[in-house]
Amino acid sequence: MADRILIKNGIVLTQDASLGELPRADVLVEDGRIAAVGRDLTADDARVIDADGDIVIPGFIDTHRHTWETSIRTSAPDYALITYFGSILDKFAPHYRPDDVYAGNLWGALECLNAGITTLVDWSHIINTPDHADAGIKGLQESEIRSVYAYGFGNTSLVDWWFGPDYQGSVLTSDGPDARRIRKQYFSSDDGLITMSLATRGPNFCKPEVVQHDWALADELGLNITVHVAMDRFGYTKMQVAGLRDMNLLRPNTTYIHASHLTPEEWALVRDSGGNVSFAPQIEVQMGHGWAPAVTALEYGVPIGLSSDVATTASADQFTQMHSILGSERGRKHQEAWDADLDGLQPSPGLITSRQVLEWATLGGAKVAGIEDRTGSITPGKQADLVIIDGKAVNVAPIIDPVGAVVCAADVSNVRTVMVAGNVVKDDFRLKASLDAPRRAVEASRDYLVSRFGDPDPGWLPVKALA
């Protein structure tokens, strides 16, 4: 890692309210941090990156991804959520070995970096054994991504974990002793490149004493909580936030994932308790969770982050999420205006903007992940998590509104340079990591897991045809 890097003459979208959008500016990086942002900066012995005509943004932040599923990417393109529970979680997850978790996490994290995602919240509900947890963390470490390891759970059947008749017993909780080991062994400091949170179920999925156990464990270990709520039409997901209130378990910095069907009362509870939401807009509309209710979150002043959720069913990059939430949420408000027979000569009320969407993919994501103090904006003093997007590409040029270029036009192929804490991990459109061994590992993992699944669904290629 160069001690000093000077990015020259870029279009800098800082996401810092005091600095704003700079049509031509430089960014100086020293010792892994942003040292200065401005015009005509100089620095002796710095590596200079010419960004003339390119767009410089903070690194994207994925606030909720089941990274272990990378090994079975696109195995379920047509699944609804209920089918996903019965097939992916019940037929694949129990067969996962530690090596499969390692391969999926490493390859998935490298995929993130290639797409300009510099921070990943890894929602790891594949902790079938302590070795599975160690393997997942190892994959994140080797990728060199910034990440929040959301320690979850595991079982012989994850459907039993979610919906089983017996919710008692330590096997069905986030294992207290091993969570303590993970916290002590890997995350004794909260200042590292990888930090820890607790992935939990919450009310309705288990007995109150199990929920109380998990929230008490998070309090004991000083961890934020991330939990799925209000998704699809399952009775299990209804009124979960109200249930947490009834158990006195509302906590600040809790992430409520999906939140597609929260009641007005629950939105107020999330706001008043200092919570936030993570939306996976492509997955939510595709798999039937519900809309990503960004307008509602804005009305209640609840911080928003974006996520890719599952690679089994959709693309796992922030360009996809930005396109999806801008289109789906504006489409929903346009339809409401049509249904209300509003005058079409006026804009539909409640339309989100491209600038809001870019904020959710960067600074908003940092707030949700609990790391706004160190990343999410191009602010002097913060760690240098930066992305340069090619402004000369055939699908991006000519640039008029640079935010529109990022949110509406660019894609993964336009990610030219990626930096995590000043470490250049992608340079001149190529990841610096060697990909051969990680790819062979994830392909071997796929072959093994598909072989254990049983007869593939119609349309799946047999393993021998994929080799």
Half-sphere exposure of 202 (CA within 13 A, CB side): 27
79 with 161, same domain: the answer is yes
22 with 158, same domain: the answer is no
Query: How many domains, in total, are found in the chain?
Result: 2
Is residue 279 domain-resident? yes
51 with 72, same domain: the answer is no
304 with 338, same domain: the answer is yes
Give Cβ neighbours of residue 336 (< 8 Å, ≥ 6 apart): 348, 350
- Indicate whether this model's pTM tops 0.85: yes
Q: What is the CATH number of the domain that holds 328?
A: 3.20.20.140
Residue environment code for 266-277, b if the CB has 16+ CB neighbours within 10 A, otherwise e: bbebbbebebbb
Half-sphere exposure of 324 (CA within 13 A, CB side): 24
pLDDT for position 175: 66
Is residue 229 domain-resident? yes
Q: What is the CATH number of the domain that holds 406?
A: 2.30.40.10
Is residue 252 domain-resident? yes
- Return d(Cα 417, Cα 17) in angstroms, integer: 24
Reported as a single tens digit per residue, the pLDDT across 382-434 is 999 999 999 999 999 999 999 999 999 999 999 999 999 999 999 999 999 99
pLDDT for position 279: 98
pLDDT for position 452: 84
Is residue 50 domain-resident? yes
Is residue 458 domain-resident? no
Is residue 459 domain-resident? no
Is residue 437 domain-resident? no
Q: At what angle do helices 130-143 and 98-114 cross, to 10 degrees?
A: 30
Reported as a single tens digit per residue, the pLDDT across 24-47 is 999 999 999 999 999 999 999 999
21 with 112, same domain: the answer is no
90 with 188, same domain: the answer is yes
46 with 91, same domain: the answer is no
313 with 296, same domain: the answer is yes
In the 3-class helix/strand/coil scheme, how is the chain assigned residue by residue?
CCCEEEEEEEEEECCCCCCCEEEEEEEEEECCEEEEEECCCCCCCCEEEECCCCEEEECEEEEEECHHHHHHCCCCCCCCHHHHHHHHHHHHHHHCCHHHHHHHHHHHHHHHHHCCEEEEEEEECCCCCHHHHHHHHHHHHHHCCEEEEEECCCCCCHHHHHHCCCCCCHHHCCCHHHHHHHHHHHCCCCCCCEEEEEEECCCCCCCHHHHHHHHHHHHHHCCCEEEEECCCCCHHHCCHHHHHHHCCCCCCCCEEEECCCCCHHHHHHHHHCCCEEEECHHHHHHHCCCCCCHHHHHHHCCCEEECCECCCCCCCCHHHHHHHHHHHHHHHHHHHHHHCCCCCCCCCCCCCCHHHHHHHHCHHHHHHHCCCCCCCCCCCCCECCEEEECCCCCCCCCCCCHHHHHHHHCCHHHEEEEEECCEEEEECCEECCCCHHHHHHHHHHHHHHHHHHCCCCCCCCCHHHHC
106 with 94, same domain: the answer is yes
216 with 238, same domain: the answer is yes
Is residue 375 domain-resident? no
Regions of the chain short of the pLDDT cut 50: 1, 165-172, 458, 461-467
261 with 116, same domain: the answer is yes
156 with 68, same domain: the answer is yes
- Residue finishing a domain among 367, 401, 423: 367
- Domain span at residue 71? 60-367
